[in-house]
Amino acid sequence: MIRKSCLAFAVSLFALTTAQAADIEPPAAFDWSGAYAGIIAGYSWSNFDTSPTDLPNSDDFKWNQSLDVDGGLVGAEAGWNHQMDAFVLGIAADFSVMAAKDDSPINVDEKDEVYVGELEWLATLRGKVGYALDNMLLFATGGVALTEAKLAYEDYDDGALDVRLGDKDTMFGWVAGGGVEFALAPVSVKIEYLYADFDDLNFHLSDEILGDAEVDTHILRGGLMFHL
């Protein structure tokens, strides 16, 4: 009698649990459509390849150099997405201030004449195409980029700066990359890689020190986006 009662109770409990489980709907997949805005931060690895017009390299002076202009960046991004089934199309714009700087000696022995390269800010306007796997978005992106680059010549006397000749320019280029984004409604977090290649920096530091510098940059950054 007790066994029959326990068995009946177990069957009733299983049936009730199954019915309740059937009434629970699975969480809906995230809808990537709409506007968003947020913050971005990361690190950049940039190259300045200097090529003065009338100053070739010699045993004593290295006028043609490749500067590693690396440093952090932080900024803001805004954009808009449109989802069609699993495919997502979008557009994004961002602006970051940069702390990317490097210096390298020109004269081999005394090392009191140096190049100083610097990137001050970066802006991009990009299209996006992605594939959504519920709350995860895999995407590729590409478009145009702007940056402000500086190149300077510094001459030191007994460790103190004696002469500084500088030039800067706002340069146009292209940018491409990709990344992955995870939605935690109503926000999402992402990590992405970008590569940007810019027009040459035409520098005129003096009547003797003038020429071109090729500038490109690799960027790894994360973002926190708020979906509106």
pLDDT tens for the 228 residues of the chain, in order = 444 443 443 344 344 444 444 444 444 578 999 999 999 999 999 999 988 887 777 877 888 888 999 999 999 999 999 999 999 999 999 999 999 999 988 887 878 889 899 999 999 999 999 999 989 999 999 999 999 999 998 888 877 788 888 888 999 999 999 999 999 989 999 999 999 999 988 888 888 888 889 999 999 999 999 999
Is the residue at 177 inside a domain? yes
Is the residue at 15 inside a domain? no
In three-state secondary structure terms, 4 is helix
The reported pLDDT for the residue numbered 91 is: 98
Is the residue at 77 inside a domain? yes
Q: Alpha-carbon distance 27 to 133, whole Å?
A: 14
Q: Where residue 190 sits, what CATH number does that domain have?
A: 2.40.128.90
Under 8 Å CB-to-CB from 11, ≥6 apart: which residues?
none
| Residue whose token pair is 């997405």 | 81
Tens digits of per-residue pLDDT, 7-45? 443 344 344 444 444 444 444 578 999 999 999 999 999
User: For every residue of 163-212, which 3-state class applies, written as one string?
Assistant: EEEEEEEEEEEEEEEEEEEEEECCEEEEEEEEEEEECCEEEECCCCCEEE
Neighbours of 129 (CB within 10 A): 14
Is the residue at 19 inside a domain? no
Is the residue at 23 inside a domain? no
The reported pLDDT for the residue numbered 110 is: 77
Retrieve residue 102's tokens: 């490097």
Is the residue at 194 inside a domain? yes
Count the domains in the chain: 1
Report strand pairing: 113-133 vs 160-184: unpaired
The reported pLDDT for the residue numbered 28 is: 55
Report strand pairing: 136-157 vs 187-198: unpaired
The reported pLDDT for the residue numbered 59 is: 73
Q: Which domain holds residue 188?
A: 32-227
The reported pLDDT for the residue numbered 224 is: 98
Is the residue at 22 inside a domain? no
The reported pLDDT for the residue numbered 43 is: 98
Asked if residue 140 lies in contact with residue 94, where contact means CB atoms within 8 angstroms, the answer is: no
The reported pLDDT for the residue numbered 124 is: 98
Is the residue at 129 inside a domain? yes
